[in-house]
Amino acid sequence: MTLQASTIGVGTYLGREDDNTDTLYLDAIIEAVGLGCNVIDTALNYRGMKSERVVGRAVRRLMEKDPEIREKLIIATKGGFIPVDVESGERPQEFFRNRFLKTGVLRETDVVGGCHSLRPEYIHECVLRSLKNLGLEYLDIYYVHNPEIQLSEIIPEEFYSRLSKAFEVLEGFVREGRIRMYGTATWDGYRSDVDDPCRLSLGRVLRAAEETSAGKRHHFKVIQLPVNIYMPEAAALQNQEFDDKCLTTLEAAEKMGLYVMTSATLLQKQALKENKLFSFQMLDNLGNSAARRAIQVIRSLRGVTTSLVGMKTVKHVQENLQLLKMPKLDPEAAHQIITEFV
């Protein structure tokens, strides 16, 4: 599968766990798709499962007007964290006990850090719950969510073995036509120094996919990690081994033929306060919008497929997606700008 992805995608992490926020997201997603954005990112644990549900409603609303639009959309979600369903009426511990422990999906010893598991039965359950929440027949991308958390408690050999078993579950869903490709969505894993025990080796992650029954024909095709003006490591830190060289994560991903989705592009609005963004003449055509300037830099980096931006108002969607009508920066210029913040 080849991704025909817009260079900006909608993220759905932030916001209250209420119906008003659902309405904002619904309108924002529909507006974004109308303006040329086709990447929508969510996760099982976002907003107590409400984010997945509103993404599903938005997609179905779009399909009512254009039944063929589903094939043009890239819907991504994630699993690994222990979620809670705010609509269940159960407290988090009750939900965990009733839905996972009592059903045998999880054992207490399968949980790391009190919040995360890679147990194959659990990953299988996460995928099924996401499909149900979204109300979709298939997912375009499924991420194992922040797997590096496991490295805080287990040795690397055990970790990559667990990861391979989780990937085996996802390969099964691929064979069933319910997932088109999968990957890892991380926070620190791909941004850490080589000697950090919680660093993820992209090469070893890829080998974990090759160790599934799919072998070299695996469907591990995409990674997600934070990249913004304050978190430039993916473009600046040489922490990944490839052909006896140390490359940045973006360089290594490109060599390995992987798509890269960047998250936290505006770092929860922190980038909007950065006056230095207005000192680069090559960004002056973007006017007085700090958001557009910050997004333009990240989406223009070499190796980046899509920059995810949390957008839950139509106003912000309209402002930010003006960029889709504009050319990206030269990748070297974007790299030069981001290194100014290191």
Is 2 inside a domain boundary?
Answer: no
Is 156 inside a domain boundary?
Answer: yes
Which has the closest alpha carbon to 301: 201, 206, 229, 223? Answer: 229
- Find the CATH number of the domain harbouring 191: 3.20.20.100
Total domains, the chain: 1
pLDDT of residue 30: 98
Is 3 inside a domain boundary?
Answer: no
Domain that holds residue 36: 8-339
* Per-block mean pLDDT, blocks of 10 residues, the chain (342 long): 92 97 98 98 98 98 96 98 95 94 94 96 98 98 98 96 98 98 98 96 98 97 97 97 96 98 94 92 94 97 98 97 97 95 78
Which has the closest alpha carbon to 75: 139, 7, 2? Answer: 139
Is 218 inside a domain boundary?
Answer: yes
pLDDT of residue 297: 97
pLDDT of residue 341: 83
Is 62 inside a domain boundary?
Answer: yes
User: Cα–Cα distance between 129 and 150 in angstroms, integer?
Assistant: 22
pLDDT of residue 2: 81
Residue 176's identity, in one-letter code, is E
Residue 164's identity, in one-letter code, is S
pLDDT of residue 77: 98
pLDDT of residue 342: 72
